[in-house]
Structure 1
Amino acid sequence: MKKRFLLPLISLVGVFVLAGCSSGSKSASTTSKASGTAKITVVGSTALQPLVEQASTQYQQDNSQVQITVQGGGSGAGLSQVSEGSVSVGNSDIFAEDQNGIDPNKLVDHKVAVVGIAPVANKEAGVTNITKQQLIDIFTKKVTNWKDVGGKDMPIVIINRAQGSGTRATFESLGLNKQKAATAPEQDSSGTVQKMVASTPGAISYLAFSYFKDNLQPLSVDGVKPTEANVKINKWTIWSYEHMYTKGSPKAPVAKFINYVQSSPVQKTLVKKLGYISISQMKVERTAGGQVNDVKP
């Protein structure tokens, strides 16, 4: 009798084992799908790029399921590509409202920092301070030799950022009183500008504070130094917000990363370390169009 029931019993056990394997396989497949890598592409401002790159590196160390790609290209590229929906985030030094061809109603603005921008010269020029009018005259080529503004007898070599650069737009608007810089060689990234000014005798350009190096000479204007303290109270007026724009409300992975960049630990450490200013430290605020107001207590 025992032998008669042995085979059915083994078969019944096999059915349960197979069922268990089937159930486990289905569960593993769901978990694999749920834990798939979320890809985030960030494009735009090269002034903001160092902060977002380093923040993304730190973020991915604790969030291995997220893959973040950060590229430059300028604020114009960031705004246009995020508007088209081809990237997750568009980095910009300017408000979407101030960029031609962009519908700001389609975008959500996430401000992550403030950046000061200043004229920078090759140290061989022998100048540390110029007037606002001299700054305008240099970039409109009314003045073409450093000796005419208190420096050495040396031709002035202008290096511009490319059209579509938020750094250029901010500098022309606030540094040159909305005048256009004269035609001159253009570079696509702040990093390239930094290297060229440092290595080209007589060179001058403009950079975010985050790109200041010891081999450059930031220029004071009308005796006001380009410092973080002066930006906070708008004594140094050439500054802008750093925006991370999304098309509509961001999906969870993107929202979490932007929240991380805005978080207190990043603002207190990485933002300061890289030469940016936390928005929470500003005593003034600027609106689209350039109006500056005191921050309400």
Structure 2
Amino acid sequence: MRKRLVAMLGMLLMFAFIAAGCGNGNSTNSNASSSNNNSDGNKKEAVSGSITAVGSTAIQQLVEQAASQYMGENAGTTINVQGGGSGTGISKVFEGAVDIGNSDVFAEEKGVDASKLVDHKVAVVGMGPVVNKDTGVKDIKKDDLIKIFTGKITNWKEVGGKDEKIVIINRAEGSGTRAVFEKTALDGATPVKSQEQDSSGTVQKIVSQTPGAISYLAFSYFNDTIQPLKVDGVEPTQANVETNDWKIWAYEHMYTNGEPKGLTKSFLDYMLSPSVQDSLVPNLGYIPLTGMKVERDAQGKVTQK
């Protein structure tokens, strides 16, 4: 009888040790699965779902590529990126129709109640006038630029170029690029009625293929198929934007309706991470916020940092 009791106690002790061992194994596995670190070594909360960002085509390629990288690093997430112009981005996010509204201008400039929106600045965009390469013009006076877009100068020979008619290509109403160009390059003047395009990519293509054409684009759309113009001898470069020597620039805003949460917050945080700011932003022709020596408010006032 005593032997039977001893045997039973031994078996109970053995089961207790096995159970304890299994419990410690589960705890270790749980800790390992929750230690999901990002590239900076910080713990990263898992996210999933789908969001939509709509608006400025000047920032579109930056957001598209950042979204592609983000989705590659975060399975189960979908980030839809669409153009449509800054006005569309701001109005849609204000209405709650999209998660993020991309814009080249402050929301106040589009006449909405900006107090309901949260501004997330993610980069600076330089912009400038561009022409078809056959015009024979590489530098232009600001006064002459205004006269061209207001219809007072109509032939390139009047500004030292070929004897060729000037063809103006404008962005459509609601475009943030157009608003920035009119405000900072044309001193608020309204361009003459002309051909209008909804997309920066389309403008780039038309200017490259149309003799005598002139328009304006973000630096990120400059390439060797078109001729960017100096203005009053100043080159459209990142260094000149950072000091405000080149005055045609704007912030790239990503607006949310209230404080962002979940996937929206995670993606906006990613937009400010080294993966985007140190790599994508400069590689795509945008300007990191950290390099700016000046800042500009919604009224257009520029001050030293």
Same fold (TM over 0.5): yes
Deviation at 1:203, TM superposition (A): 0.2
Deviation string, structure 1 residues 22-55 (Cα, Å, up to 9, x no partner)? xxxxxxxxxxxxx894111000000000000000
Q: Is 1:204 aligned to residue 214 of structure 2?
A: yes
Looking at structure 2, the residues matched to 85 and 258 of structure 1 have their Cα atoms a distance apart, in angstroms, of 17
Determine the structure 1 residue equivalent to 2:89.
Answer: 78
Assess if the C-alpha contact under 8 Å between 2:101 and 2:254 holds in 1: yes
Looking at structure 2, the residues matched to 36 and 136 of structure 1 have their Cα atoms a distance apart, in angstroms, of 49
The percentage of aligned residue pairs carrying the same residue is 60
Q: Is 1:240 aligned to residue 254 of structure 2?
A: no
Deviation string, structure 1 residues 54-97 (Cα, Å, up to 9, x no partner)? 00000000111210000000000000000000000000000011
Determine the structure 2 residue equivalent to 1:48.
Answer: 59
Deviation string, structure 1 residues 102-156 (Cα, Å, up to 9, x no partner)? 1101100000000001000000001000100000000001000000000000000
Aligned residue for 2:178, secondary structure, equals: helix
Looking at structure 2, the residues matched to 290 and 263 of structure 1 have their Cα atoms a distance apart, in angstroms, of 27
Determine the structure 1 residue equivalent to 2:224.
Answer: 214
Mapping 1:58-77, distance limit 5 Å: 58-77=69-88
Deviation at 1:265, TM superposition (A): 2.5
Deviation string, structure 1 residues 216-239 (Cα, Å, up to 9, x no partner)? 100000000101110000000000
Assess if the C-alpha contact under 8 Å between 2:184 and 2:248 holds in 1: yes
Aligned with residue 157 of structure 2, among 147, 156, 162: 147
Mapping 1:60-209, distance limit 5 Å: 60-100=71-111, 102-209=112-219
Looking at structure 2, the residues matched to 248 and 230 of structure 1 have their Cα atoms a distance apart, in angstroms, of 34
Looking at structure 2, the residues matched to 184 and 261 of structure 1 have their Cα atoms a distance apart, in angstroms, of 36
Looking at structure 1, the residues matched to 301 and 73 of structure 2 have their Cα atoms a distance apart, in angstroms, of 40
**Structure 1: 5+ residue runs without aligned partners?**
1-34
- Amino acid paired to 2:189: Q
Give aligned pairs, total.
260
Q: Cα RMSD between the aligned structures?
A: 0.9
Assess if the C-alpha contact under 8 Å between 2:48 and 2:263 holds in 1: no
Assess if the C-alpha contact under 8 Å between 2:54 and 2:98 holds in 1: yes
Aligned residue for 1:277, secondary structure, equals: coil
Aligned with residue 272 of structure 2, among 258, 262, 267: 262
Looking at structure 1, the residues matched to 50 and 116 of structure 2 have their Cα atoms a distance apart, in angstroms, of 22
- Which TM-score applies when normalising by structure 2? 0.84
Assess if the C-alpha contact under 8 Å between 2:118 and 2:259 holds in 1: yes
Looking at structure 1, the residues matched to 77 and 225 of structure 2 have their Cα atoms a distance apart, in angstroms, of 37
- Which TM-score applies when normalising by structure 1? 0.86
Consecutive aligned runs of 4 or more in structure 1 exceeding 2 Å deviation: none
Larger mean CA deviation between 160-169 and 258-267 belongs to 258-267
Aligned residue for 1:269, secondary structure, equals: helix
Determine the structure 2 residue equivalent to 1:8.
Answer: none
Looking at structure 1, the residues matched to 74 and 226 of structure 2 have their Cα atoms a distance apart, in angstroms, of 37
- Amino acid paired to 1:290: G
Looking at structure 2, the residues matched to 36 and 89 of structure 1 have their Cα atoms a distance apart, in angstroms, of 17
Looking at structure 2, the residues matched to 179 and 252 of structure 1 have their Cα atoms a distance apart, in angstroms, of 43
Looking at structure 1, the residues matched to 249 and 273 of structure 2 have their Cα atoms a distance apart, in angstroms, of 22
Looking at structure 2, the residues matched to 263 and 36 of structure 1 have their Cα atoms a distance apart, in angstroms, of 17
- Amino acid paired to 1:275: G
Looking at structure 1, the residues matched to 172 and 197 of structure 2 have their Cα atoms a distance apart, in angstroms, of 6
- Amino acid paired to 1:198: S
Assess if the C-alpha contact under 8 Å between 2:103 and 2:254 holds in 1: yes
Determine the structure 1 residue equivalent to 2:294.
Answer: 284
Deviation string, structure 1 residues 195-225 (Cα, Å, up to 9, x no partner)? 0000000000000000001011000000001
Deviation at 1:266, TM superposition (A): 1.1
